[in-house]
Amino acid sequence: MATWLFKSEPDEYSIDHLIEEKSTDWNGVSNPVALKYLRAVKKGDRIFFYHTGKVKAIVGEMLSKQDAKLTEEGPLVTVHKPVRYERILTLAEVKADPVLKDWELARLPRLSVMPVSEIQLARITELLNL
């Protein structure tokens, strides 16, 4: 299984919204690279939930409920089983970390869906004490 990071503006849709709803369809992605990544999501993949805007941090995680599917509006992934982290991992911490500083999250601020490598996952897990 793969690991991903999905970004959302918390004023539009936050981890708290997902916790309340328990499940949602993730769509509305327009960047071609992000779309490519979104289409690659499979059932059971782990997904970090990242808040953009003022916070700019990994705030929780969720799971993909199914493989990505194509709809008239574009690719869609249903996510569920949200968890809010007690400790968040800020973008500033990511940029300062020698293991994470070259990750797409640090280099490509407009990319809303991106993969998380095994090395990045291990480091994020360590920093968040998961």
75 in Cβ contact with 38 (< 8 Å)? yes
The Cα 112–Cα 30 span in angstroms is: 9
- CA distances in angstroms from 59 to 33, 39, 95, 112, listed in the order given: 23, 23, 16, 15
Average pLDDT for 5-12: 97
What confidence tier does 75 reach under pLDDT thresholds 50, 70, 90?
Answer: confident
pLDDT at 112: 96
pLDDT at 28: 83
What confidence tier does 71 reach under pLDDT thresholds 50, 70, 90?
Answer: confident
DSSP string, 22-77: SEEEE-----HHHHHHHHT--TT-EEEEEE-TTT-EEEEEEEESS--EEETTEEEE
Average pLDDT for 18-42: 94
66 in Cβ contact with 116 (< 8 Å)? no
The string of pLDDT tens digits covering residues 20-29 is 999 999 988 9
Please report, for the domain that includes residue 13, its CATH number: 3.10.590.10
Tally the domains of the chain.
1
- Domain range spanning residue 63? 3-128
